Amino acid sequence: MSKVSFVLGAVATFFVSATVFPARGVAQVPVVGSAQSPATTTGIDRYKVPSTVSPEAAEQLNKLYARLAHVPRRERPKTLEEWDQANAQLDRIARPTSTAAADALHVTRTEDHLGGVPVLRVRPANFKPGGPVILYMHGGAFTFFSAANSLAIPAMMSSASGHEVISIDYTLAPRADWHVITDQILSVYKAVLATGVKPQSVGLMGDSAGGNLSAGSVIKMREQHLPLPGALYLIAPGVDITGAGDTYTPLAAADPVLSAETSVWSRESYVPVAADRMNPIVSPVYADYTQPFPPTMIQGGTREIVLSSSVREYQAIRAGGKEAVLDIYEGMPHVFMSLIPSAPESKIAIQRAADFFAAHLRN
């Protein structure tokens, strides 16, 4: 495992581990790595790597989990200044390794603005203009990370697909709520179309909260009668911000990355008004999929409490008569592609997603 992969994974996990969506009626689970969070609870060792993953993944996960076992508990920022300080600290740690991960794949990065929104254009070494364009929404529970320090997945996709990936540097909650953030995504999308790119040539992708934003933004496009993109790729999407879902309970003690305890961070920051949390733009699993919706690939792992979120979104899309693919990986944690990018599981997942885009995006 490379130093870049290990450090990048540890940094990403540290800041995501305490910011997952809530679980209804679930006893509070200690934050991963806190003094109150032993590796074993109810007889389950959250840091034990399954014997059924690849040897390469096992080696990398064992190193990663050893580090996670000592991650200290974090307190929720109380003011915008404290949120900014937390993100500045994260950026100092994550940006160098994020940059190194992109450099290793020989992708170029160019800062730009589309529709008044800052973006980062990620292009592969063999980039040729005129092809499909993929818009990427990074994860981080709506409150953390940026385009600049979340380069691993867009770099991997750009390299695998040969296409430009535009990472949208949306304004983070709580400085912006769901109305503002999804409006920014639509502004970028409309700006891309204004350059002459056809809707069927545009793909949307996102991980975790970014998966929510990808699906929710398409619902908003539909409500505004915009032409829809050609395909979606959702990685472990948190598509029900109310926190409903079966796997929150049985996997709570087995998830090495996510915890339900501090769920209110994302819920209250991104959607301050409780009555809005079942709006399909906010919780896409409640959308009407008998209405137009692009072909969608959903990926996840068996060791994450949001697994049922992926399953429910897949079933909702299929029940509406639309195309969806559910691609689940044995023993993998939340957004594993960014945590162990050189593992076979991660490479296979990204390549399958690139192939999915290739099959559905049309010039």
Query: Rounded to a whole number, what is the distance in angstroms from the first to the last CA of the chain?
Result: 38
Q: Cα separation of 195 and 108, whole Å?
A: 21
**Structure tokens belonging to residue 233:** 């790729």
- Tell me the helices (H) and strands (E) count for the chain, helix number first: 10, 10
Beta carbons within 8 Å of 186's beta carbon, 6+ residues apart: 217, 220, 221, 224, 226
CB atoms within 10 A of CB 327: 17
Please name the residues in contact with 285: beta carbons below 8 A apart, sequence gap of 6 or more: 239, 240, 309, 312, 313, 316
The reported pLDDT for the residue numbered 258 is 86
The full DSSP string for 237-303 is ----TT---GGGTTTTTT-SS--STTTHHHHHHH--SGGGTTSTTTSGGGS-TTS----EEEEEETT
Domain that holds residue 117: 3-360
Residue type, 65: Y
Distance in angstroms (rounded) separating the CA atoms of residues 216 and 296 = 13
| Euclidean distance between CA atoms 212 and 271, whole angstroms | 13
* Contact assessment for residue 140 and residue 150, using Cβ atoms and an 8 Å cutoff: yes
Residue 75 confidence (pLDDT): 82
Question: Which pLDDT does position 43 carry in this prediction?
Answer: 62
Q: Where are the beta strands (DSSP E) in 60-116?
A: 108-114
* Distant-in-sequence, close-in-space partners of 238: CB < 8 Å, separation ≥ 6: 20, 21, 208, 209, 211, 212, 266, 306, 309
* Total number of domains in the chain: 1
Q: What's the pLDDT score for residue 74? A: 75
pLDDT at position 199, please? Answer: 98
Q: What does the DSSP 8-state code read for residue 329? A: E
Q: Which residues are within 8 A (CB) of 145 and not within 5 positions of it... i.e. 6 or more apart? A: 15, 87, 90, 94, 138, 139, 172
> What is the structure's pLDDT at 39?
58
Residues 292, 239: Cα–Cα separation, whole Å? 18
| Residue 343, pLDDT score | 97
In the numeric block, which tokens belong to residue 363? 């010039």
Low-confidence ranges of the chain (pLDDT < 50): 1-37
Instruction: Report the distance separating Cα 260 and Cα 25, nearest Å.
Output: 11
- Distance between CA atoms of residues 341 and 60, nearest Å: 10
User: Nearest-CA neighbor of 217 among 236, 203, 200?
Assistant: 203
Residue 279 has a pLDDT of: 98
Residue with tokens 């044995």: 330
DSSP state of 34: S
CATH of the domain at 174: 3.40.50.1820
